[in-house]
Amino acid sequence: MRSANTRSTDSTPEKHRSMRLAVALLRRKFTRHTTALSRHRSSTNCLLFCSMATTSSTDPVTPSNTRVGWIGTGVMGHSMCSHLLKAGYSVTVFNRTLSKAQPLVHLGAQLADSPSAVASQSDVVFSIVGYPADVKSVLLDPTTGALSSLRTGGILVDMTTSEPSLAVTISEAASAKGCQSIDAPVSGGDRGAKAAKLSIFAGGDHSVITKLNPLFDLLGKTYYMGGPGKGQFAKLANQITIASTMVGLVEGLVFAYKAKLDVGLFLEAISTGGAGSKSLDLSVRIWESLCLGWHWPSSSISLSKLMGRATWAPRLLFCLLRGSIIFHSILLPNRPDAFSVG
């Protein structure tokens, strides 16, 4: 009996050690399993977050997820912005003369009191204003400019006929803030703006321009010209081409006038022949406007003076002034105020 009891007593520590070892092994396995599960969950959450971030950055532009800002509601801007409103986009607008933005407010736009206020409520901000100085003011002014309050990832789209160097400057400033900038001047005039048939010369990041196509398609047809500033270079080349054709048309008008032809009838007669062109259509409108006492040439001369300030466009200046001087010879004797530049 004693020997049996002794054996039983001696075996108890061994059992305890075996049990402790088994528990330790179980704990180790449980810890490893928990760690692996935690890592799996973390990885899954990371993938889910990254997937969500990627989706949000590549979502197509639609009225439901894109807020639009519009700076400049003149003849061109009003028609262009109205197309976006009619397509269902939420648009916030600004114009220096606030009353000129009221027609768009009646269409559903929200009115802001500064470019900065527009940008703070927008994902994409369009601008189409008068001159490069105006572009610089409404976009880059450190206090009231659109870029000052544009959210990270926001996009500026300047559609003003401006300067390539300024377009590059705006692009660099936007990039430094984590935003994007596109220069996208247009051709087609007020008729093209009303009919949504503008030619859009786009410069900047190709992927950004592609993303904005749903908006551009509401305004006309987009042509990708290259990096920042290339849209403005394309528009200047367009202006040089127009200037050259306009000079020829003006010389034809002078010849018809000197020959004592009915200039209006002459323009109508050649419009369906080989001389027919969009430039000719514009000439007809200018001629009719002058006959009604309007002041188209004033803006034309102002444009030539503007272009003349740029050292890269001396030949363009020559063409415009040459045409203006020839055309001027028709009306100056009878309408000395027709070419006044106010």
Q: The tokens of 62 are what?
A: 């639609």
Tokens of 223: 């042509």
Query: What tokens were used for 252?
Result: 């034809």
Phi, psi at residue 175, to the nearest 5°?
-60, -40
Q: In whole angstroms, what is the distance from residue 132 CA to residue 271 CA?
A: 35
Between CA 87 and CA 44 the distance in angstroms is 39
From 235, 258, 260, 278, the catalytic residue: 235
Q: What is the DSSP letter of 147?
A: G
221 given a catalytic annotation? no
The DSSP H or E segment spanning 94 is strand 90-94
Q: Which parts of 70-114 fold into alpha helices (H)?
A: 75-86, 102-106
Per the document, the length of the chain is 342
What is the set of active-site residues? Answer: 235
